[in-house]
Amino acid sequence: MFHRESGFYKTSYAADFALYPLPIARWSVIGFAILFFAIVPLLVPSYYLTMLNLVGIAIVGALGLNILLGLTGQISIGHAAFMSVGAYTAANLATRLDLPFYITLPAGGLMAAAVGIIVGFPSVRIKGLYLAISTLAAQFIIDWIIIHTPAISGGASASIQVPRPWLFGIQLDTQVELYMFILCVVTIAIVGALNLARSRIGRAFIAIRDQDIAAEIIGIDVRRYKLMAFAISSFYAGVAGVLYTYYSGVANNEFFPLLISIDYLAMVIIGGMGSVLGAIFGATFVTLLPIVIDLVMSYIGPFFMGDSSGLSGIKSHLRLVVFGGLIMFFLVVEPEGLNRLWLNIRNYFRVWPFSY
């Protein structure tokens, strides 16, 4: 009954290339667009818009890592370092040259992509655990360069105050205005990732992920596409870093530690590697998980602890325990993550009320 392909025929090239060929999928996308662009800004309080803004920034970063890890099969533990490159690039351009966001935003992404190509050079020769260690080293090297270069970091505190973006003479400083700004960038990032996955480049990425030797035999330039994957992934990370800088009003190296890179790995693994929808699920889940844990512990914690100081200490450690447990659970039980659970539900209603 729902999402059923029978009875819908593709009679043109446009229909064959459509992102959502089925009517129910198109209407669902239109419904979500009306919900998030028109209803949410009017009805949702500022506190929840703050959460949605953080989720939107996380979605852009998770989409980038999903392109590298999920589509191409190249692991990276230095994703947060590329975010810091984009953040400091935009901060310096905005404060020193007084450039608007529509220049600093892509500039931050392009600078991160250039650094990503340099970091990705080891992927031409190594892969797996060795590549993971090399990207981990890149995280520390980029951090050290930013901290010890005052021309980039702005001084000893490695902090640069950045004014909120301006659009048509209006400064975007309220949560609603920032929500609309971030939502537009997230929409462009999602459409770009969806089209990339089914393009010639995306098919080359998937061939390299599945078997790089076979991909090279059939004529795919493996080295060039691996570096391209690093560049595109880093571009997304840089844009996410720029968004976070504009959102927080400051570029600071402490916003992008190694733990943030681990968070993005968790987003891709828990959401489902290789899926755009999985990256969205994972970014939403991992971003909101600490808030949910905090709320749950606030209600049930006093019954077990009875001491507020001990409770606050448990909250910070419980988040790490839940993260680790979820990553182990999805790797063992459901490697395709939350996206597979959604596909199981959708496939159930595809044949409903029949069993198959």
- Which residue type sits at 232? I
Instruction: Tell me if 266 sits within 8 A of 282, measured CB to CB.
Output: yes
3-state secondary structure of 97: coil
Point out which residues pair with 159 in neighbouring strands: 252
163: DSSP letter = P
pLDDT in 10s for each residue of the chain, 356 residues: 455 666 667 777 777 777 787 778 888 899 999 999 999 999 989 889 999 999 999 999 999 999 999 899 998 898 999 999 999 999 999 999 989 999 999 999 999 999 999 998 887 788 888 888 999 999 999 999 998 888 888 776 778 899 888 888 888 888 999 999 999 999 999 999 999 988 999 999 999 999 989 999 999 999 999 999 999 999 999 999 999 999 999 998 889 999 899 889 989 988 888 889 999 999 999 898 888 877 777 777 666 666 666 666 676 677 778 777 877 887 787 778 888 888 888 888 877 777 66
Q: What token pair was written down for 137?
A: 């080293």
CA distances from 249 to 155, 160, 245 (A): 17, 9, 6
- pTM for the complete prediction? 0.90
CATH architecture for segment(s) 36-351: Orthogonal Bundle (1.10)
The answer to whether 111 and 125 have CB atoms below 8 angstroms apart is no
Contacts 24+ apart (CB under 8 A), 36-39: 36/183, 37/180, 37/183
CA distance 289 to 38: 26
Q: For residue 158, is it left (φ>0), alpha (ψ between -120 and 50) or beta?
A: left
Structure tokens at 23: 């009517």
**Residue pointed to by tokens 């570029």:** 251
CA–CA distance, 83 with 263 (Å, rounded to integer)? 13
Domain ranges for the chain: 36-351
